[in-house]
Amino acid sequence: MTWTRAEAEEWLREDRLREGQQWYLVAMEWWIATFTDPQSAAELDGDVPMEEASEVTTQESTESSRMGPVRNEALVDLEFSSKARKSVVLKPLLAEQRDYLVVSERVWNRLSHEFGFDWEIAREVIMMPESNKCIVKIYPVAFQLLYWRNGMQEPQEVVEGEANQPVVLVMSETESLNAVQHVIQQSLLQRLNEFFPDVKPEDVAKALQVAYRRTEQLPWVALQEALHIERNDTTKQIMVESTVVRDLDLEERAYRSGKERFHSLLIEGRFQSPEGTTDWRHDRFFSDILANMWRTELKKGQLIDALDTDKKWYESRVLDISEGKVFVHYRGWTDKWNEWIDLFSNRLAPRFSNVPNWRDFQVNDQVQVGRTQEGRAFPEWRNAFVREVEGNFEEGTLRIKVVWDGKEEWRDAQDELLCRPGTHKVTNASVSRPLGTAYSSNTPSYNRYSDRRDYSMDYGRGKPQFTGVVGLQNLGNTCFMNSMLQCLINAKPLKEYFLTNTAEGAPLFEKDVNEDNPLGMKGMIAREFAKLIKRMWGGEYTVVSPTTLKAVIGQYAPQFAGYQQQDSQEVMNFILDGLHEDLNRVRKKPYTTPVERNGRSDIEFAQEAWAQYLLRNDSVIVENFMGQLRSHVTCSNPDCANESDTFDPFMSLSVPIPADESVSVKVQLFWASGKIPTKYAVRVSKDATIGDVKEKLSALASIPASHLFFVEVRLHKIKKAHSDRSLIENIADDILHVYELEFPVSEYEMGSSNLRFIQPKPLAAQDATSNGKSMRLVALLHQAPVASPVDTRSEDYDFMDDANSGPKQRRVEVELSNTPLLVSVGTSVSKAEIHKSVWQAVRRLVSDETSFDCGEEAALPYRLHITQQNGSSALQRDVPYADEPADLPETSSQDYCFTLEWSRQGYQRGYDEKSAKRIELHESMRQLKITQPENVTLLNCLSKFTEREQLGKTDTWYCPKCKDHVRAFKKFDLFTLPRVLIFQLKRFRYAQSSFYMHRDKISTLVTFPIELLDLSEYVVGPKPDGGLIYDLFAVSEHSGGLGGGHYTAVAKNPDLGKWFSFNDSFTKEANPEDAITSRAYVLFYLRRE
């Protein structure tokens, strides 16, 4: 029996989306090839209204079985899909009507009965809560399964089959958490002995649990605790049964590639400690141990979040730790509120987990300022705002100028007498911050402590210095959108189009608005973009808030709905595509079939393909932003060598940056013997870890890798230690600091927490401090006196006085200098032995021409103190050279370091400044200078883009001649170029490690012309009469790392011809050359007419 158009028409007309139904995907390529009759296919396409399609003469299609089964494989990511488990993962960024059609269950049943199929792709119909409309959820949530059992240090992937394919579960967002756990448990029981050999089937419910995490940065949370319900088993089960996947509030990931698009579900067992119940970790789940490790590492003075007895969270400081309790001080409140809280109480939490990081101040932030009152136990509080900021929050140097009641004052950002707005009763009225002047790089300008915005419709109103040079308010990590909007706002064709009115005074663009286009947004994005561009060019605002435009974008693209950092190029594509469809002048799109070459020339073939594209697409975007690419594909099968050409429209060119896959890492090695440090250049891959660098350096320096210790140095102090797993790409230092140790790193107890790895192994043996180790590793800081004396103000600084000065005399102020060193000492060490170890480390800094030496009768050029790890407060002052025990602090309760204070005489006579600055260069550094890479240009990137390349294993091409999926050879050529030419420099790429997929950023400087970019030799199609000369007019920039990066823009004002830089609300004049930096990400060029 054959499939007829008439039957399909009737069924498609009758079927409607209903919540809970299953609808199915059918590959568009197969559909078009099967239903070859153009009129019949047009009715099934979905672009033509069914009532119009019914007028077409009914006729049966040709024998339907001639094409064989429904071929959906082109839609499926085969690496992660399983027919046996009916888990189908789609390739990212598939588009309806371009890549697939969605059909009802009975249409699919008929198709599968008539033709058969290779992959069945079922998707659920869900109700959108915000619109109460039914949609087919094409990309449901996908979970990758991981597992952890006792004895493992980290979770591992659950894999199956001979190819060790990762197990991925595709779950509807309306699936209950109870059902999710049931699916996992049923799958687990079949392989229980493989993953959890010590767990009996009847004990699974008690011995194992499933955990998830909303983002990779957040901790694991048991599914049972998803809604933070009380620990009542009956209540918990009821809540879990009524909780669905949607309630987990997972971030949108469907648009990503590889494993990056998956969330994780962890099947975890309980940790069984050899020490039994004396170890707090015993019989706890892995996620619970990870979530509570921070508690066991708390130190005096550390900042945390604490919940007071009124159920309010405050930033707090740890004052003491004793017998499983923590004594906390609520910052901004008097000491009478200090209290003891159980160490494992839910009233304690890591810093910034419940209290926002409000002390990372931006200009115009509101704050409460306290002033002490004579004779009163509590301060007086005033509302104020921040006028200026200087320094850096991360480095602890941030200072702010606060203004209240006409007064202003500089305060340290960590001042105890600063509080969040609304904390205390104030004695003055609220302070109004000036509108239109705020600058915020990554925090919303509305009230950051509630969901209620505090700006009015007049936000940013004022006359700008230059018309069109207007800032954009950061709504909360929306710098990526602001950067791209500034580029588009300064695109001359868009400016002219949206600001032109008809003779009657109506906006010209309104006649093009297509509210009925099923691929558009009912004209919403066009109208909101028009409003924005009019406000920015109207001369009435200095800053504009793109709130409504963002809301429209988020409504149709969920990945942009929240306030997470996104890619500016991705939002650009969405905006331009949305503008095109909202302004598409084609009201009734005809059905079109693929154009074939049929022996014709490139020009004839390309012109027909373009003419066919224009039958369905006609807008201001097509006129100005769309070009045409020629794609040439050759079958890789030598017995076939079939060739195929297609001509496709493009809106931007994503060009690769020619880059070496390896990098040279500069490493400065400090020797255990104290000799002059040596600088090395180590060549490793871009996705290398510290462990990889360590192995290479070990070979170059002839030091066992186990004796090398890498750290990050900031402001003459050791900020943190690098673990072997730390990725080089995530380390901002230009030069890595590494120390040779006398013994393997594993044999040391660390004197301070900054020497312990950022990610300690929570399941190593209990007692992360001593564990029977006989050696300690202690940081050694240097303090050198400066020239001018200052008054002594506190006895706290007596230990810094010069050796020849009395306690009441003026002292010499000191500050940290030089690179910190590391000293190895025994855990039971004498003060004399400490001095000997310190002298060995610093001997090279002392001039040979002096009499200074280390010994019982010798005179030292410095004084040695045991201080807190930042060197500021003394724990033991003036450690003498004596054989008495040193009594070093216990590292479990006190971080400490050695601080070397050079005496004034010792510094002037004995300090060898030349030796202190001397560094030996290894031969690898000399070779590095000889082999510096050549500059990369935009034309180099374009040449790389047009190179012939072979497709990857997961991106095969179906050859119609040999009827096989092959790794074909593909080549792109530019056939025609648009008026506005956009280049995306492919700075971000995905790199696969053995355990996960991570993104890598290429920071290579790419140079590009500001003017006179001639692309004539790169275009293989006909050239326009005016030539192909382009001038740069805008650049979207990205700085920083992948997670915490920031987007800015530079653009040329089309009216003034001047360049400006845009950083959210902040704008300033710029030079054209300012655009050429390693931050350049998306380049905008305009063709000369």
CATH number at residue 171: 3.10.20.90
Same structural domain for residues 666 and 798? yes
Same structural domain for residues 673 and 763? yes
For the chain, give the percent of residues with pLDDT over 90: 32
Same structural domain for residues 828 and 840? yes
| Distance between CA atoms of residues 895 and 614, nearest Å | 70
- Give the pLDDT mean for 687-691: 85
Q: Does any domain span residue 450?
A: no
Q: Does any domain span residue 875?
A: yes
Banded pLDDT at 661 (limits 50, 70, 90):
low
- Over the stretch 436-478, which tens digit does the pLDDT of each residue have? 333 333 333 333 233 333 333 455 678 888 999 999 888 877 8
Same structural domain for residues 878 and 946? no
Residues linked to residue 985 through DSSP beta bridges, in sequence order = 655
Q: Does any domain span residue 281?
A: no
- Give the pLDDT mean for 158-176: 87
Q: Does any domain span residue 478?
A: yes
- Over the stretch 905-923, which tens digit does the pLDDT of each residue have? 777 777 777 777 888 999 9
Q: Which of 657, 660, 676, 658 is nearest to 668 (CA)?
A: 676
Banded pLDDT at 757 (limits 50, 70, 90):
low
Same structural domain for residues 649 and 570? yes
Instruction: Tell me which of 314 and 895 has the higher pLDDT.
Output: 314
Q: Residue 1050: is its pLDDT beyond 60?
A: yes
Residues linked to residue 394 through DSSP beta bridges, in sequence order = none
Res 769: pLDDT = 43
Query: Judging by beta carbons within 10 Å of its beta carbon (0-12, 13-18, 19+), is residue 776 exposed, middle or buried?
Result: buried
Banded pLDDT at 133 (limits 50, 70, 90):
confident
Element at 246 (helix H, strand E): none
Res 440: pLDDT = 34
Q: Residue 4: is its pLDDT beyond 50?
A: yes
Same structural domain for residues 654 and 574? yes
Q: Does any domain span residue 900?
A: yes
Q: Residue 537: is its pLDDT beyond 90?
A: yes
| The last residue of a domain, from among 84, 105, 136 | 136
| The last residue of a domain, from among 896, 928, 960 | 928
Q: Does any domain span residue 388?
A: no
- Over the stretch 24-72, which tens digit does the pLDDT of each residue have? 999 988 887 776 554 444 444 444 333 333 333 233 334 444 457 899 9
**Pairing of the two strands 418-419 and 366-371:** antiparallel
Q: Does any domain span residue 898?
A: yes
Q: Which residue has the tokens 């306690």?
A: 807
Q: Residue 739: is its pLDDT beyond 90?
A: yes
Res 868: pLDDT = 82
Res 391: pLDDT = 78
Tell me if 885 sits within 8 A of 837, measured CB to CB.
no
- Over the stretch 798-808, which tens digit does the pLDDT of each residue have? 434 333 333 32
For the chain, give the percent of residues with pLDDT over 70: 83
| Distance between CA atoms of residues 254 and 559, nearest Å | 8
Res 983: pLDDT = 95
Instruction: Work out how many domains the chain is built from and give that number.
Output: 5
Lowest mean pLDDT among 16-20, 98-102, 252-256, 655-659: 252-256
Domain with residue 80: its CATH number is 3.30.2230.10
Contact residues for 1003 (Cβ-Cβ < 8 A; gap 6+): 987, 1078
| Distance between CA atoms of residues 898 and 244, nearest Å | 55
Q: What is the pTM of this model?
A: 0.54
What dihedral do alpha carbons 499, 502, 507, 510 form, nearest 10°?
Answer: -130
Average pLDDT over all residues of the chain: 81
Same structural domain for residues 849 and 903? yes
Res 773: pLDDT = 66
| Distance between CA atoms of residues 1067 and 837, nearest Å | 55
Domain with residue 330: its CATH number is 2.30.30.140
Q: Residue 765: is its pLDDT beyond 70?
A: no
Tell me if 105 sits within 8 A of 22, measured CB to CB.
yes
- Give the pLDDT mean for 1000-1026: 88
| Amino acid (1-letter code) at residue 85 | R
Res 65: pLDDT = 40
Res 929: pLDDT = 64
Lowest mean pLDDT among 316-330, 649-663, 767-781: 767-781
Banded pLDDT at 637 (limits 50, 70, 90):
confident
Same structural domain for residues 842 and 758? yes
Q: Does any domain span residue 431?
A: no
Q: Residue 645: is its pLDDT beyond 50?
A: yes
Same structural domain for residues 646 and 668? no
Residues linked to residue 785 through DSSP beta bridges, in sequence order = 814
| Distance between CA atoms of residues 416 and 921, nearest Å | 47
Same structural domain for residues 512 and 572? yes
Q: Residue 91: is its pLDDT beyond 70?
A: yes
- Over the stretch 808-821, which tens digit does the pLDDT of each residue have? 233 333 467 788 99
Res 341: pLDDT = 96
Same structural domain for residues 999 and 1050? yes
What dihedral do alpha carbons 609, 611, 612, 614 form, nearest 10°?
Answer: 120
Catalytic residues: 479, 1046
| Distance between CA atoms of residues 487 and 484, nearest Å | 5
The size of the chain, in residues, is: 1089
Same structural domain for residues 172 and 41? no
| The last residue of a domain, from among 928, 945, 976 | 928
Domain with residue 550: its CATH number is 3.90.70.10
Domain that holds residue 1000: 463-658+933-1089
